[in-house]
A = this chain, B = another copy of it.
Amino acid sequence: MSRRLLLFAATSCLLSAAVDVHAQERRGGFTPPPVVISPEVAADQTVTFRIYAPKAEEIRLSGDLGNLGDAGNLVQGEQGVWEAKAGPLAPGAYRYHLVVDGVATVDPANPATSESNGNSWSLLIVPGSEFCDVRDVPHGALAEVAYRSETLGRFRRMHVYTPPGYESGEGAFPVLYLLHGAMDSDDSWSTVGRAGVILDNLIADGKAKPMIVVMPHGHTGPFRFGPPGENSFERQMRDFAQDFANDIRPHIERTYRVKTDRGSRALAGLSMGGAQTLDIAIANLKDYGYLGVFSSGVFGIAGGPFTAGGPSWEERNAAVLDDAALKDDLKLVWFATGREDFLLETTRGTVKALEKHGFSVTYDETDGGHTWPIWRDYLRDFAPLLFQDD
């Protein structure tokens, strides 16, 4: 037996778990499935997606890729391999599924995934961006951390970015708490959001101060949109605010080498995370020097979605909102949103309310909607404004 054959014989048994050979065996004889490369990013930033699905009737792309029209429909080629070419796509990161006869699957040939609210997506990186490509600069570490939530009575996961050199044991750092949206998990800011890569680049370029970025999980139970109930949006918002104040922040300040003065603590979030930012920060404004609200605001403030009965947000928080002393060391209140965002009026209404109560708000409206490209841009723009007095 030749060495080549020996290699194949020995290793093919390792493959048994990975390749669907049973159906083929039943048809008699083993034909190895074709080798599939997907996704393939070309120099012109078009991306080819491929999947081996000999029995499928319809396959299309879904996810963050935008409206691809017919380009989003995969076409069956030889040997049961389907293919679609999309783009050119702007540099950045994209979550996608291949929807095979109505079943949204991750790309079987792509090991990179991005965890979301209750499911996983394939992750596509399109290079070519100065601020979110992995560059030849010092890199921080991105950790999964289990902390005990006494509020919720169980261990919970968060992601923590520590800046380059943190492992050495030298120095104490300011902290940005960075919250995700309703469709995300604590994994999202560091996969599709590229937070660690963005910080690495900003720090290397001298634009942002070295900082720890804490990315907790904003859902406190199985979360599905729908009518109020045990896991309602309001209930989860309340539980998370408590988990954050009692468990997340104390865990970080007990465990990591962090600065704990107000000027060394920032809180920001996108969409649901922006609403949580306001919830948490207004209740404890003396603790936070910097606030960032991306594509969000106080839900219901402008009569839009999530309008609740009872006293208004302004009425409920009047004591804090009108306390001038609390604003003295508040260094930054930063809002931005896309002009096509479905929460645009919520954002505008919140900025207006804060200004009415004497807050100085930095506010920008940009092109785009309620999507990750905007939030990566916002992190790039927001992080350099933090902790510069340190």
A residues near B (Cβ < 8 Å) are 3-4, 6-15, 17-18, 20, 22-23, 35, 51-58, 60, 62-64, 80, 95, 99-106, 108-113, 115-120, 134, 136, 139, 141-148, 155, 160, 162, 165-170, 181-183, 185, 224-228, 233, 255-257, 271, 304-309, 342, 370
Q: In the complex, how many angstroms separate the beta carbon of A203 from the nearest chain B beta carbon?
A: 14
By beta carbon, the residue of chain B nearest A116 is: B111
User: When the two chains form the complex, which single residue of B53, B58, B120 contacts A111, counting CB atoms closer than 8 Å?
Assistant: B120
Chain B residues contacting A23 (CB-CB under 8 Å) are 58, 102
Q: In the complex, how many angstroms separate the beta carbon of A143 from the nearest chain B beta carbon?
A: 4
Chain B residues contacting A169 (CB-CB under 8 Å) are 169-170, 257
Chain B residues contacting A145 (CB-CB under 8 Å) are 139, 141-142
Chain B residues contacting A95 (CB-CB under 8 Å) are 17
Q: In the complex, how many angstroms separate the beta carbon of A181 from the nearest chain B beta carbon?
A: 8
Contact indicator A10/B306 (Cβ below 8 Å):
yes
| Bound Cα distance A362, B112 (Å) | 38
Contact indicator B182/A14 (Cβ below 8 Å):
yes
Contact indicator B111/A185 (Cβ below 8 Å):
yes
Contact indicator A8/B111 (Cβ below 8 Å):
no
User: When the two chains form the complex, which single residue of B7, B165, B271 contacts A306, counting CB atoms closer than 8 Å?
Assistant: B7
By beta carbon, the residue of chain B nearest A21 is: B62
Q: Which 10 A-B pairs have the closest CB atoms?
A: A10-B305, A105-B105, A169-B169, A143-B143, A11-B225, A141-B143, A55-B101, A139-B146, A53-B103, A142-B144
Contact indicator B4/A227 (Cβ below 8 Å):
yes
Quickly give the copy total for this chain: 2
10 A-B pairs besides A100-B105, A109-B118, A142-B145 with CB distance below 8 A are A9-B305, A17-B95, A23-B58, A54-B102, A103-B108, A108-B119, A111-B119, A120-B120, A166-B167, A169-B257
| Bound Cα distance A342, B16 (Å) | 13
Known: A6-B306, A183-B18, A342-B10. A144 touches B146 (CB 8 A): no
Chain B residues contacting A51 (CB-CB under 8 Å) are 103
Q: In the complex, how many angstroms separate the beta carbon of A253 from the nearest chain B beta carbon?
A: 11
Chain B residues contacting A106 (CB-CB under 8 Å) are 105-106, 113, 120
Chain B residues contacting A100 (CB-CB under 8 Å) are 100-101, 103, 105
| Bound Cα distance A147, B17 (Å) | 31
Chain B residues contacting A255 (CB-CB under 8 Å) are 165, 167-168
| Bound Cα distance A295, B226 (Å) | 50
Q: In the complex, how many angstroms separate the beta carbon of A94 from the nearest chain B beta carbon?
A: 11
Chain B residues contacting A112 (CB-CB under 8 Å) are 115, 120
Contact indicator B134/A56 (Cβ below 8 Å):
no
Contact indicator A62/B20 (Cβ below 8 Å):
yes
Contact indicator B167/A256 (Cβ below 8 Å):
yes
Q: In the complex, how many angstroms separate the beta carbon of A22 from the nearest chain B beta carbon?
A: 8
Contact indicator A119/B18 (Cβ below 8 Å):
yes
Known: A118-B109, A148-B136. A305 touches B103 (CB 8 A): no
Contact indicator A113/B120 (Cβ below 8 Å):
yes
